[in-house]
Structure 1
């Protein structure tokens, strides 16, 4: 990390928690370039999965079970 980055990091750590969260969200947003083609592909995938679920080809799990798999490890 450059000295400039280190200095910014030290300064950012002086911010309140809420301000730091807002800063992180802003920085992450700056990395996320919209891609209409990719968004359309994900939309199609979501529709395909929903259709498969409705046809009984995919099984759904309770949210608590899914989260428990990741939070209990």
Structure 2
């Protein structure tokens, strides 16, 4: 039985997998991305709520470096 290409690709080193992932993402045009990543109404409402909250209090934002260190911590 032939091997599954995804199984083989998942055996690549992390750096190679990251390059492959970015290459695949960049190979999609805007319409393809929009078609595959359509937001639900609930997701759209949550993003709108969070954006309004940020506009109301911009200082409430947390820098990515802080979020990343908390996730890794």
TM-score normalised by structure 2 residue count: 0.43
TM-score normalised by structure 1 residue count: 0.43
Q: Which structure has the larger Rg over C-alpha atoms? A: 1
